[in-house]
Amino acid sequence: MVVILLGPPGVGKGTQGVLLAEVTGARHLATGDLLRAARRDGTEFGRQAQGYMDRGELVPDRLIVDLVCEVLGTLDCETGVVFDGFPRTVPQAEALAEALAEAGRQVDRVIVLEADDELLVKRIGGRRTCSTCGAVYNVFFRPSRREGVCDRDGTVLVHRADDDPATIRRRLEVYRQDTASIVRFYEGSAARLERVRANRPVAEVQDALREAVGTP
């Protein structure tokens, strides 16, 4: 099954995407994570993406589409995919449809996670991540056992570079500009689109997602 998680920054796409992929045996494919890994590795691609990310703008479609197609090319047709943060524009959605069609596949579910801006800003403000394993914590809602240190590998937790207040505001604006057209695109497709309120505990949101994709 091919599932797309849409939603504003901080709504929980990453948190929920990892859990949903685990339970369905799918690959969690988060373009933000791939971009941050490319930056950490100092690749040319990471360097090209850096300025856009730091300003809270979208990275150009051609870079993102190449990145996603490269990963898709490594998966067999049986492997489910949970997309997180992709597609974000109609050209990205069209490119995904084309790449999947070549493999005889299509997008099955599109789930729009929703929450109020006030909560999103609080979640993002409290987010801390592990730069070694990518684990995500929250000082308000999901603290690590030892303050400031990753439970899994002991790495010191960091605040994401684009999680400062000005960039958060810009990321929210960019999300709003592009969402309506993406939602319209999928409403006119064969995929089933559902909206899930994400202002609830992680486990409750996860239950709603599993119901939406038909996984117990």
Q: Which residues are catalytic?
A: 13, 88, 127, 160, 171
Count of all residues that appear for the chain in the document = 216
Q: Is 80 in the site for ligand AP5 (CB under 6 A)?
A: no
Which residue among 15, 38, 191, 212 contacts ligand AP5 (CB under 6 A)?
Answer: 15
Q: Please enumerate in sequence order all residues whose Cβ is within 8 A of that of 209, keeping only pairs 6 or more positions apart, or say none.
A: 16, 20, 111, 196
Which residue among 149, 183, 193, 202 contacts ligand AP5 (CB under 6 A)?
Answer: 202
Side chain identity, residue 189:
S
Q: Is 45 in the site for ligand AP5 (CB under 6 A)?
A: no
Which residue among 3, 6, 205, 212 contacts ligand AP5 (CB under 6 A)?
Answer: 205
Whose Cβ is closer to ligand AP5: residue 42's or residue 104's? 42
- Residue span binding ligand AP5 (CB under 6 A) among the ranges 84-92, 104-112, 145-153, 208-216: 84-92
CB of 116 vs ligand AP5, minimal distance in Å:
13
Q: Is 86 in the site for ligand AP5 (CB under 6 A)?
A: yes
Q: Please enumerate in sequence order all residues whose Cβ is within 8 A of that of 76, keeping only pairs 6 or more positions apart, or say none.
A: none
Q: Is 39 in the site for ligand AP5 (CB under 6 A)?
A: no
Q: Is 171 in the site for ligand AP5 (CB under 6 A)?
A: yes
Whose Cβ is closer to ligand AP5: residue 58's or residue 97's? 58
Q: Is 110 in the site for ligand AP5 (CB under 6 A)?
A: no
User: Which residues bind to ligand AP5, rule: CB under 6 A?
Assistant: 7, 9-15, 31-32, 35, 52-53, 56-59, 64, 85-88, 92, 123-124, 126-127, 136-138, 141-142, 162, 171, 198, 201-202, 205
